[in-house]
């Protein structure tokens, strides 16, 4: 199972919006609505930000939103803030009770 | 307090095995699937597999089949991940992570341990 493809980095100024893509195939992202997104700050464990493609766990700001079209899922951060600077990973069910992560994207707040 | 507490850092020689523990507290251990995820230095996250703490049933990523064994001890609410025939590229932080949905596996990791650094070096 190959890792899902994410851009290596994206950047934006405070207050702007950024979107991170996560491209897979019909065997994973495109075949199921079991997509989640994680935020990871340096030296810390990842944090669940989005699940079920577009649902936010309690406590996650509504600036974070998720969507999916075909084989590509997306995470959008609206109203970018300094604390949003981190690495972000997507994750998808990939069939036969296995999962796969994306390659990861570094978000920089300019 | 809902948390996962992992065992401490390990240094192993190539060819050896390592067993990492993950003790759950503050929730019903047998109610949630437990996953293991690793992250090599400066690299991304890699899913390794899961264990159903109730039944002990496991499912491993193909990459680790034959080298990884996930077990649990329900009497002490602890999950274990053992990786054998270690190589230098197994050097990584190993995380245990709980699935969000009770009694189901969705790859939604809502609770993470702090990670265990395993260093493989001769």
Do the beta carbons of residue B24 and residue B79 sit within 8 Å? yes
Question: Sign of the C-alpha dihedral, residues B11, A104, A98, A77?
Answer: positive
- Residue B23 above 90 pLDDT? yes
pLDDT of residue A95: 87
Contacts of B46 in chain A (CB under 8 A): 3, 101
A1 band by pLDDT with thresholds 50, 70 and 90:
confident
Q: Is the dihedral of CA B93, B119, B68, A103 positive or negative?
A: positive
| Nearest Cβ partner for A34 among B59, B106, B112 | B106
Which chain B residues are within 8 Å of A99, Cβ to Cβ?
35, 47, 107
pLDDT in tens, A53-89: 999 999 999 999 999 999 999 999 999 999 999 999 9
């Amino acid at each position: 199972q190959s890792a899902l493809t994410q851009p290596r980095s994206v950047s934006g100024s405070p207050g702007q919006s950024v979107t991170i893509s996560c491209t897979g195939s019909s065997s994973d992202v495109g075949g199921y609505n079991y997509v989640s997104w994680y935020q990871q700050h340096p030296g810390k464990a990842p944090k669940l930000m989005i699940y079920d493609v577009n649902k936010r766990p309690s406590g996650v700001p509504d600036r974070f939103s998720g969507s999916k079209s075909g084989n590509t899922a997306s995470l959008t951060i609206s109203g970018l803030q300094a604390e949003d600077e981190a690495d972000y990973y997507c994750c998808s069910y990939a069939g036969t009770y296995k999962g796969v992560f994306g390659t990861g994207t570094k978000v920089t707040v300019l | 307090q809902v948390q996962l507490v992992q065992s401490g850092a390990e240094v192993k020689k190539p060819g050896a095995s390592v067993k990492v523990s993950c003790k759950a507290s503050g929730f019903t251990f047998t109610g949630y699937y437990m996953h293991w995820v690793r992250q090599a230095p400066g690299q991304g996250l890699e899913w390794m597999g899961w264990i159903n703490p109730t039944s002990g049933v496991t499912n491993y990523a193909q990459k680790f089949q034959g080298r990884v064994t996930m077990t649990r001890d329900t009497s002490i609410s602890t999950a274990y991940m053992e990786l054998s025939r270690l190589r230098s590229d197994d050097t990584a932080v190993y995380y245990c992570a709980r699935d969000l949905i009770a009694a189901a596996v969705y790859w939604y990791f809502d609770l993470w341990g702090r990670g265990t650094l395993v260093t493989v070096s001769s």
